[in-house]
Amino acid sequence: MKRISHLEKSYINEVLDSNFRTSSGSTMNTRLEKAFSELYKSNFAISFINGTATMHAILLAKGIGEGDEVIVPPLTMASTTFAVLQVGATPIYADVDALTYQIDPSSIQTKISPKTKAIITVALFGLSPDMDEIMKLAEKSNIFVLEDNAETMMSYYKGKLAGTIGHAASFSFQSSKHLTAGEGGIVITDDEQLALDVRRVSSLGYSGVSSKKGKITKNQIQSPSYFRHVSTGFNYRMPELCAAVALGQLERVGELVNRRVEVAQLFQDIIADTEWLIPQRTPDDCVNSYWTYVIKLEHSDINWTSFRDKFQEFGGDGIYAPWKLTYQEPFYKDILNRETNPYCPIAEELQTSLLQFKTNYWEWNKAEEQAKCLKKTIDFFKSL
């Protein structure tokens, strides 16, 4: 199979052949939003330029800002924290579960304060957090829940699609993600007012947009009495060429997600009898879509770098390390003046021991080659 097929190319050509003058109601963005809403059975979808702008827009639309606190996991891409900082709020870090690596509801509970206005959950590596427990905490304290689903697509939590449980969800179409547009993102929600406010944030605060419509007609703006901007906004709209690619990818979502799951299973079979390589735990009532296949290295005589180097020596593509915890990054001390330093011991221990393997192998023989390299690496260390 190919990552980019004739379908995406045909949609790109549609945009180019139209000279970007697609008619109202039939733009690629409109088609993408409609298709994504139908897939997730969500009332509203708003396409974006990327999966960080999505979160910024949602928080801004909710009126979250200076003096407010937003609970986030530390073991994830810093974009989650950046979105909080963009609205002037303070990120509060909750620790993660030692087996699933997802934000831990019991830690969230200890971080809730009168200033808490939102919780951002992250479906890390393709797996949903324990959303039932998180939503119970949120409902008890009237807290908004945003699902950051940049790393998952078509994963399930207790029979529900991840992204349909919180009050809104953000997805990313960056090049490494399950579906790509090169860059891009999308927001889904069932809240019409939130959808309208998010749309306005993404569209320069234009008065003519709606919860389901992002295009403004010429008749609207060709008037000296027309008031264009009813709120603050940005140009976060997805370009039509990106939307064309994303739409083609969305129509192939089954095969694209399934391939990642198949590659993850290939790696899983290789490590099955190696007690010092522990895979991310996927609960029985969840379905993991495996943005990456993640295992924990638990061997006192093998360090992370040695394992990675040997894997590459045998022909492996390389192994990604988890990001430094966001509060460990240099920018954190420069930007935030905190009275207390965050401390998430489980996340700190995991950050130095997790191995992330790519799952986006579109040619099956290449995936099999990587699995063989992993087996050779394991056999080498077992022989010592």
β 69-72/90-93 pair status: parallel
The residue behind tokens 């492996």 is 316
The residue behind tokens 């959808």 is 195
Q: How far apart are CA 46 and CA 33, in angstroms?
A: 6
Please tell me what DSSP assigns to residue 339. Answer: S
Please tell me what DSSP assigns to residue 281. Answer: P
The residue behind tokens 């295009």 is 215
| Centroid of chain to Cα 329 | 20
Angle at the Cα of 86 from the Cα atoms of 84 and 92, rounded to 5 degrees: 25
User: Which runs of consecutive H residues, i.e. helices, occur in the chain?
Assistant: 6-17, 28-40, 53-61, 79-86, 105-111, 131-141, 192-202, 218-221, 240-250, 253-271, 304-313, 330-335, 345-351, 364-382
**How many residues can be counted in the chain?**
384
Q: How far apart are CA 187 and CA 172, in angstroms?
A: 9
Q: How far apart are CA 312 and CA 93, in angstroms?
A: 34
Contact 47, 32 (CB under 8 A): yes
Mark whether 160 is an active-site residue: no
Contact 105, 133 (CB under 8 A): yes
Whole-number Cα distances in Å, 247 to 178, 215, 300: 13, 18, 47
Which of 2, 140, 158, 177 is the catalytic position? Answer: 177
Please tell me what DSSP assigns to residue 173. Answer: -
Please tell me what DSSP assigns to residue 256. Answer: H
Q: Which of 134, 127, 140 is nearest to 108 (CA)?
A: 134
Kindly list the catalytic residues.
Answer: 177
